[in-house]
Amino acid sequence: MQRSTGMARRRVVTLELENLVAAASNASAAGRGEEAVGAALAVVALLERTGPLPALLRVLEEVDATPDLPGAARV
């Protein structure tokens, strides 16, 4: 029982991750810097311990390239 619960939870996290990556990308493309940063930080929270780190870096690089990104939002 516990194993199936863990698998179900993993599916939910995977779907949320895909949504957050899409949200960061869409906000970045639309020049909505604060929204892009918020979504990217949520991606960081999900991937910082489990990876994949290249996917995390791609999201962060895309958000960093957002036009008019507030200076305080840049790392």
> pLDDT digit string (tens) for 26-65?
999 999 999 999 999 999 988 888 888 999 999 999 999 8
Domain ranges of the chain: 2-67
| CA-wise closest residue to 41 among 12, 21, 18, 26 | 21
Residue 74 has what pLDDT? 63
**pLDDT tens for each residue of 1-19:** 456 677 777 777 778 899 9
Kindly report the backbone phi and psi dihedral angles of residue 48, in degrees, each rounded to the nearest multiple of 5, phi listed first: -60, -30
Model-wide pTM > 0.85: no
